């Protein structure tokens, strides 16, 4: 039995029965990291000597090693957002997500690679070299939270905290065959998470099963006085709702998502997953999200506008290096955002996009009058090869076609693995829900997982 292959619930049971110790678990993961990480570059920082606090013994995630995307401030530990601008930045304070996980007894084992500032869909925009997909190292792991997804697929941590602004949790989760949840905007505090686009950014868990995802979400969720955009309502104990009856729930199938441009194997694999869900009693209903074709344009107006503002603070005076260290994609987005916010163009571009955003949000509100959740592919294609899209930014942006609407509408979405291509490249679907209805998504994902079976792991030579 390898400890690094066990779920959170399994590890917790072993710890409670005194069959293992937090040190032993940590060492198992750390040994695996030393062996595998040089091959896939999932971690930017590895913590060799953990702070194991035995007074946390009765806490829900006691002794569980996890990774965080390197966009979270962690006091005394280097935090780079995978950008050279922050090469030597040591956080002077803790992000709320990190504080909450510490208080739950979880142990940070390392910080993961990503596209610099969260800008990308492949992790190739990292200023510290790309992460490679553990399933096939010629392929990208997806992005921007690619290091988090790869660290999970390769069993280099028990769960990971990603960040999703336009699909950055769900795309890599899909490309690496792990579970990823983009929560409702405002469910999880963003305090201390390096900002990309503040009206879209969400902090969410990634894990190797839906149950693990639910266990982590219940630690992360809830109001925070340091983030005024968090909702004041008390979140439920998500794990307690897993296994409740789903028969009779209405599953929306958006016709715009199942049209041209989708890879045949992706289409047939998702179709099979939908059949499996129907066997569990959910009822399919065709729906329409007519504004879908405008989602990418709207996203690539709003997100660069906000990022040009957020990245203006990096002046090299208070912390970080000078603006000369920005990588190509950051510069591209800063300039695009500077343009769309500039005098004479603000109304035509930025303001226009905020109005189209309303229409996209209305699409989902209308759909949820008729259905309880929506199913969609996470990506129109399986993972692509390293280098395949790096020279064509627009082509790269279009990878997020099924993902960005969710961020624009602020609704939650769960990415769940459902199969592989003939070349053994992962495929996932996503379940999209009403605002703050993570409970339904996690429950459906959990029951699908029971039917579909425990996920395979890649063999890394």
Partner 1 sequence: MKKGSLSKKDVAHLAKLADLKLTDSEIEEYSGQLSSILDYINQLQEVDTSKVESTHSTIGLTNVYSEDKISDVQKLKSLKHLSVAKRNGKKYFAVKRII
Q: Residue numbers of the site for partner 1 (CB under 8 A)? A: 89-90, 92-93, 184-186, 199, 225-226, 228-229, 231, 291, 293-294, 296-298, 300-301, 308, 312, 315-319, 321, 323-324, 326, 328, 331-332, 334-336, 338-339, 342, 344-345, 348-349, 351-359, 361, 393-394, 397, 408-411, 435-436
Burial code (b: 16+ CB inside 10 Å, e: under 16) for 333-358 equals: bbebbeebbeeeeeeebbebbeebbe
Known catalytic residue at 158: no
Nearest approach in angstroms of CB 421 to partner 1 is 28
Q: Is 168 among the residues known to form the active site?
A: yes
Tokens for 293? 């074709």
Closest approach of partner 1 to the CB of residue 429, in Å: 23
- Nearer to partner 1 (CB atom), residue 36 or residue 302: 302
The CB-of-286 to partner 1 minimum distance in angstroms stands at 23
CB 175 within 8 A of CB 377: no
Spatial distance between the Cα atoms of 109 and 154, rounded to a whole number of angstroms: 14
At its nearest, how many Å lie between partner 1 and the CB of residue 325?
11
Task: Output 10 or 199, the one with its CB closest to partner 1.
Answer: 199
Write down the least CB distance from residue 293 to partner 1, Å. Answer: 8
- Residue 148 known to be catalytic: no
How far is residue 357 from each of residues 19, 119, 378, 434, measured CA to CA in Å?
A: 53, 20, 20, 17
The residue among 150 and 408 lying less far from partner 1, judged by its C-beta, is: 408
What minimum distance in Å lies between the beta carbon of 319 and partner 1?
4
CB of 86 to partner 1, least distance (A): 10
- Beta partners for residue 182, in sequence order: 413
Query: What whole-number distance in Å separates Cα of residue 176 and Cα of residue 427?
Result: 8
Bridge-partner residues for 377, per DSSP? 429
DSSP helix, strand, coil percent of the chain (3-state; round to 5): 40, 15, 45
Among 28, 69, 148, 305, the one annotated catalytic:
69
Contacts of 131 (CB under 8 A, 6+ apart): 40, 41, 42, 112, 113, 123, 140, 141, 146, 147, 150
In this complex, which beta carbon is closest to partner 1, that of residue 101 or of residue 334? 334
Check: CB of residue 374 under 8 Å from CB of residue 367.
Answer: yes
Per-position b or e across 110-124, b if 16+ CB within 10 A of its CB: bbbbbbbbbbbbbbb
Instruction: Rank residues 96 and 148 by Cβ distance to partner 1 and give the closer one.
Output: 96
Which entry of 91, 122, 144, 151 is annotated as an active-site residue?
A: 144
Indicate the residue among 265 and 297 with the shorter CB distance to partner 1: 297
96 or 126: whose CB is closer to partner 1?
A: 96
Of the residues 168, 177, 308, 428, only one is catalytic, namely 168
Tell me the C-alpha to C-alpha distance, in Å, between residue 183 and each of 10, 137, 245, 406, 411. 25, 29, 22, 10, 7
CB within 8 Å of 181: residues ≥ 6 apart: 169, 204, 205, 206, 213, 217, 412, 413, 414, 415, 438, 441, 442
- Cα separation, 68 vs 228, in Å, equals 23
Annotated catalytic sites, by residue?
69, 144, 168
């Amino acid at each position: 039995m390898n400890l690094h292959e066990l779920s959170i619930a399994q590890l917790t049971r072993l710890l409670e029965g005194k069959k293992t110790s937090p040190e032993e678990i940590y060492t198992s993961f750390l040994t695996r990291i030393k062996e595998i990480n040089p091959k896939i570059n999932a971690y930017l920082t590895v913590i060799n000597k953990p702070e194991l606090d035995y007074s946390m013994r009765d806490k829900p995630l006691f002794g569980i090693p996890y990774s965080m995307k390197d966009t979270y401030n962690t006091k005394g530990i280097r935090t780079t957002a995978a950008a050279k601008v922050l090469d030597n930045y040591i956080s002077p304070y803790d992000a709320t997500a990190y504080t909450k996980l510490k208080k739950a007894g979880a142990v940070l084992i390392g910080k993961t690679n990503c596209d610099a500032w969260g800008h990308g869909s492949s992790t190739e925009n990292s200023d510290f070299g790309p992460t490679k997909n553990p399933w096939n190292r010629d392929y990208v792991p997806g992005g921007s939270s690619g290091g988090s997804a790869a660290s999970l697929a390769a069993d280099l941590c028990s769960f990971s905290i990603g960040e999703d602004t336009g699909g950055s949790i769900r795309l890599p989760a899909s490309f690496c065959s792990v579970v990823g949840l983009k929560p409702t905007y405002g469910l999880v505090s963003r305090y201390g998470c390096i900002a990309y686009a503040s009206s879209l950014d969400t902090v969410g868990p990634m894990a190797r099963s839906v149950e693990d995802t639910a266990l982590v979400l219940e630690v992360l969720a809830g109001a925070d006085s340091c983030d005024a955009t968090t909702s004041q309502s008390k979140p439920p104990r998500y794990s307690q709702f897993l296994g409740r009856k789903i028969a009779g729930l209405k599953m929306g199938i958006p016709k715009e998502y199942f049209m041209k441009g989708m890879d045949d194997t992706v289409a047939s694999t998702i179709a099979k997953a939908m059949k499996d869900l129907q066997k569990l009693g959910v009822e399919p209903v065709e729906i329409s999200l007519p504004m879908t074709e405008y989602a990418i344009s709207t996203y690539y107006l709003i997100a660069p506008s906000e990022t040009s503002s957020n990245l203006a603070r990096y002046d090299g005076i208070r912390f970080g290096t000078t603006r000369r260290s920005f990588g190509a994609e950051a510069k591209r987005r800063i300039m695009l955002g500077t343009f769309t916010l500039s005098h004479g163009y603000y109304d035509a571009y930025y303001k226009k996009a905020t109005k189209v955003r309303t229409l996209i949000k209305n699409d989902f509100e209308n759909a949820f009058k008729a259905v309880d959740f929506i199913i969609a592919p996470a990506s129109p294609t399986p993972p692509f090869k390293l280098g395949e899209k790096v020279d064509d930014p627009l082509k790269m942006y279009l990878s997020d076609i099924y993902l960005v609407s969710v961020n624009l509408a602020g609704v939650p979405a769960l990415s769940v693995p459902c199969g592989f291509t003939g070349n053994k490249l992962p495929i996932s679907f996503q379940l999209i829900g009403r605002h703050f209805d993570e409970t339904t998504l996690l429950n459906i994902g959990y029951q699908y997982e029971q039917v579909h079976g425990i996920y395979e792991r890649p063999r890394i030579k």
